[in-house]
Structure 1
Amino acid sequence: MSQLHVIDLSGNSLRGQVPAWFWSIKSLSDVNLSRNRLGGRIGFGINSSSSSMIKALNLSTNSLTKMESLNISSCKISGNIRVISGLRSLKYLDVSNNTMNGKFPSDFPPLDGLVFLNVSLNNFSGLVGSDKYKKFGKSAFSHGGPFSFETESGSSWVADIKEPTSAPVTMSSKPLMNLTFKDLIAATSHFGKDSLLAEGRCGPLYRAVLPGDIHVAIKVLENARDLDHDEAVALFEEISKVKHPNLLPLCGYCIAGPSNLKSSNVYDYTFRGKEKLVLYEFMFNGDLHRWLHELPTLKTNVEDWSTDTWENKNTSGFHVASPEEITSWLTRHRVAVGVARGVAYLHHAGSTHGQLVASNILLSDSLEPRVAGFGLRNVGSRNKNASLDKQDCGFEHDVYCFGVVLIELMTGKQGSEGNVEWVRRLVREGRGGDALDSRLRLGGDSASEMVECLRVGYLCTAELPEKRPTMQQVLGLLKDIHPVLS
């Protein structure tokens, strides 16, 4: 049979599976097994040198819908995987090392019954849920297409790279570190939900521990997908150079996607896959929003920042504050002054923040505020020539947002429009004390000083932008209310 080139066994009522030795006939080029009752297993792949010689294969009119095993790995097959989607009895499927395409999992046979799956080294797109990684293993999807990750809310983001080591991580604080996107995947358990800290307007935020026990927070900038590669590098380098005790600059970044966008209609994932990830130093005490609005009721969207209890120590050697510390008036005043210093520094340098909210204010070991997220407000803006809207992105807008944060600090209430108007009305009526956070430990002149801070918040949230003070003036007012160490 070593010289057999063509075999036609059609219409013979053959049953069962095609034996493995059949595919070892190296001379086969034309195989017709149609109109039989074949099923079970059809396997030719990486160990079958003959498979690449077959030019015609006819398996029509058989019982292949009951097939339990299909191995067509390393067969140089291209085209859509959808042609085998009707094989609903499969338990073993290996299509690795081809150039097949299609959507995962919609174009595939049902996955529930599969006990083995390998789609690696192909051009598939789609979302691979964390449950699939656990069931089939990460190697089953290695280089299977663009890397796709799912968040807690069900949304997803995609990194359009075939090889995760091809996307370097630039660490500005440690330029000699040799890291890639693959290291970020490993450090976040494949950007799994257990590593997800929060989902913000710009994208998901993950916690990671890099080699060398470096704790970082990784932000995926979903609004920067169509930002030019070189522009992104220039922007991230500029932000990473900002140095101020009350600002949290980037400590690194990674661009996981091609450097040049070919076309937005060349597969959907090609456009969506140009992900930009920025890295920040991890703050074990979390953000101000968490401390003001979540911890007192033990409802936090951040699972276990350091230990299972909110104590003053953890295994990493960092001070993790207790909820009582944020109820101190002096602590809140120090936070307000620190944030004002950071934003005033940005304004003095001619920059704005644009999205100053309590969740963008991180707290250090000593509860010293570090403002994050600056420089990223207009990332990905399609109209690069448009002037900034002062109502939304200018200095006055930052002042208004700071006023909202200040009101949150003094009242302990969410910075909603309704709460801001409520506080403004009380201040106008001379009843600012009625708005103070009842959880605060007050003594001496604390109450009157807090009311003075509310008055500063009132000035910052003036309806007319031109009526608002500058951030440098705000900083001076806060320091006059209570002396602080420089």
Structure 2
Amino acid sequence: MNLLSYFIKLVLLTTLFTLSQSKNCNNTDHILISKAFASISNFNISWFHCSNLSISEINLPSKNLTGSISWNYLKNLTHLHTINLSNNSLKGYIPSWFWSTPSLTQVNLANNKLGGTIGFESGSESGSSWVVDVREPSSAPVVMFEKPLMSFTFKDLMGATSQFGKESLLAEGRCGPVYRAVLPGEIHVAVKVLENARGMSHHEAVCMFEELSKLKHPNLLPISGYCIAGKEKLVLYEFMANGDLHRWLQELPTGKTDIEDWSTDTWEHPVDSSSPEKMEWRTRHNIAVGIARGLAYLHHAQSTPIVHGHLVPSNILLSDNLDPRIADIGLTRDRVNPQTTDSDVYSFGVVLIELLTGETGSDETVSKARKLVREGRGVDALDSRLRLGDNSVSEMVECLRVGYLCTAETPGKRPTMQQVLGMLKDIHPITVEFN
């Protein structure tokens, strides 16, 4: 009997010691957890042992937790990589910064009563996993310009992109990630998440999308629709199976996203490296003329010129017939004075030089090409893969001179895009004209 009493006392003392240790724990992470869950019913801080180690996991599924988490305290848990709070009754709003917490790789918040901003994560080489059940934005409508009678919601976009998973990721660019989606009715689209527009109001976003939908030209990639889900703004484009000019021209391998350089919006696509069109000067000239037409429309056919601001080969998509479509237009709402359109002219010159030389349009490539043009040796800069025909060499050299003019160091010496288009058409007339 004395032994049993001793044992009971020992258990009680151990429990009291553990509780006391939890309450008086000076570990920073332990304190942050305590504050984060201070308003949560049925939460027990003793689930987290006090030690000198950082807290890396919060695994509390099916604990009958109710209430609102103070998310800001979790921001300072620098080693936290796993959160599982599924199958509880948590409520409140998930802040947008939560989804960009660097250390997080596994998140499961399903089957709660949470609302707020959905987080989009492209994943990483180690493989991130996100399971979210955020209620309010899922019913946000998708507004379709091309097929207005079709009815979709944000939930449809989530399903069509595997919850915006890595397997659907096409690109990661300056405006945000791009995902491939097949909507009901076999509608193939590319969905771009505008990370830089989260601070934009609903009204401002609608006005931007409606305005961009009015830009109609054969050499611009039109907006098919948009969706505003909470703070998230998404824009839908027609999916271009031939991908972008950068990959087409450089014959880059497919199946892998270029994770070394996320500065461009490069779309994965099936590239046929043996495609004879790549070697044809006429094909490249037609692409150059199409890009010039699109830019001339933006600069000269509007009441106020529209500057693209980021014209690079990876923002030029190719149709089935290899007609260029300029993408990523107006997402920063750059309506500017006419004289500042010269930045686009310079960028076009860089793209033109890449088309002619076959080399990536770096500062070194531009400098080398300009030097050869000045020395009268422009022919030495031409892509050796190009097939030569009647007058093709002289035409290519003349086009290289156009690239030289566009990349003049002094902006005032650069031609307008209307002048550029005229020069390219004079070099080799195009039989098909667009209105």
Q: Which moved more, 1:347-356 or 1:201-210?
A: 347-356
Question: Structure 1 residues 62, 356: CA separation in 2 closer, same or farther (over 3 Å shift)?
Answer: closer
Match of 1:401 in 2: 347
Taking the TM superposition and a 5 Å limit, the aligned residue runs for 1:14-413 are 37=15, 60=19, 79=39, 84=44, 87=47, 93-95=61-63, 98-103=66-71, 117-119=86-88, 121-123=90-92, 124-125=94-95, 126-127=98-99, 132=106, 139-140=110-111, 143=114, 146-152=117-123, 162-257=135-230, 274-295=231-252, 301=258, 305=269, 310=271, 323-348=275-300, 349=302, 350-378=305-333, 388=336, 394-413=340-359
Taking the TM superposition and a 5 Å limit, the aligned residue runs for 1:453-464 are 453-464=399-410
In the alignment, residue 139 of structure 1 is paired with which amino acid?
A: A
Look up the SS of the partner of 2:106 in the other structure.
Answer: helix
For residues 160 and 113 of structure 1, the distance between their equivalents in structure 2, rounded to whole angstroms, comes to: 14
In the alignment, residue 249 of structure 1 is paired with which amino acid?
A: P
For residues 338 and 123 of structure 2, the distance between their equivalents in structure 1, rounded to whole angstroms, comes to: 34
Q: TM-score, normalised by structure 2?
A: 0.76
Q: Which moved more, 1:143-152 or 1:351-360?
A: 143-152
For residues 424 and 183 of structure 2, the distance between their equivalents in structure 1, rounded to whole angstroms, comes to: 39
String of CA shifts for 1:134-173, please: whole Å, max 9, x gaps. xx6x73567365322222469999x996423332211111
CA contact (8 A) 1:191 1:206 kept: yes
For residues 183 and 297 of structure 1, the distance between their equivalents in structure 2, rounded to whole angstroms, comes to: 27
For residues 108 and 145 of structure 1, the distance between their equivalents in structure 2, rounded to whole angstroms, comes to: 23
In the alignment, residue 414 of structure 1 is paired with which amino acid?
A: T
For residues 484 and 453 of structure 1, the distance between their equivalents in structure 2, rounded to whole angstroms, comes to: 14
Look up the SS of the partner of 1:415 in the other structure.
Answer: coil
1:256 Cα shift?
Answer: 1.9
CA contact (8 A) 2:142 2:227 kept: yes
Match of 2:29 in 1: none
1:441 Cα shift?
Answer: 2.0
1:300 Cα shift?
Answer: 5.9
Question: Structure 1 residues 187, 289: CA separation in 2 closer, same or farther (over 3 Å shift)?
Answer: same
Question: Structure 1 residues 96, 280: CA separation in 2 closer, same or farther (over 3 Å shift)?
Answer: farther
For residues 374 and 147 of structure 2, the distance between their equivalents in structure 1, rounded to whole angstroms, comes to: 51
In the alignment, residue 228 of structure 1 is paired with which amino acid?
A: S
1:200 Cα shift?
Answer: 1.0
For residues 130 and 442 of structure 1, the distance between their equivalents in structure 2, rounded to whole angstroms, comes to: 54
CA contact (8 A) 1:209 1:215 kept: yes
Structure whose residues are more often helix by fraction: 2
For residues 444 and 142 of structure 1, the distance between their equivalents in structure 2, rounded to whole angstroms, comes to: 70
Match of 1:443 among 366, 389, 392: 389
CA contact (8 A) 1:13 1:36 kept: no
Bigger Rg over Cα: 1
String of CA shifts for 1:19-42, please: whole Å, max 9, x gaps. xxxxxxxxxxxxxxx86759xxxx
For residues 175 and 474 of structure 1, the distance between their equivalents in structure 2, rounded to whole angstroms, comes to: 37
In the alignment, residue 482 of structure 1 is paired with which amino acid?
A: H
1:235 Cα shift?
Answer: 1.1
1:377 Cα shift?
Answer: 3.2
1:254 Cα shift?
Answer: 1.3
1:232 Cα shift?
Answer: 1.2
CA contact (8 A) 2:378 2:397 kept: yes
For residues 153 and 15 of structure 1, the distance between their equivalents in structure 2, rounded to whole angstroms, comes to: 49
Q: Percent identity?
A: 55
1:60 Cα shift?
Answer: 4.3
Unaligned stretches of 5+ in structure 2? Answer: 1-5, 24-36, 50-57, 259-265
1:201 Cα shift?
Answer: 1.2
In the alignment, residue 296 of structure 2 is paired with which amino acid?
A: A
1:420 Cα shift?
Answer: 1.0
Match of 1:23 in 2: none
1:342 Cα shift?
Answer: 0.8
Look up the SS of the partner of 1:485 in the other structure.
Answer: coil
**RMSD (Å) for aligned C-alpha atoms:** 4.0
String of CA shifts for 1:315-354, please: whole Å, max 9, x gaps. xxxxxx9643222211111100001111111112232222
CA contact (8 A) 1:426 1:435 kept: yes
String of CA shifts for 1:38-73, please: whole Å, max 9, x gaps. 9xxxxxxxxxxxxxxxxxxxx946999xxxxxxxxx
For residues 78 and 105 of structure 2, the distance between their equivalents in structure 1, rounded to whole angstroms, comes to: 16
1:242 Cα shift?
Answer: 1.4
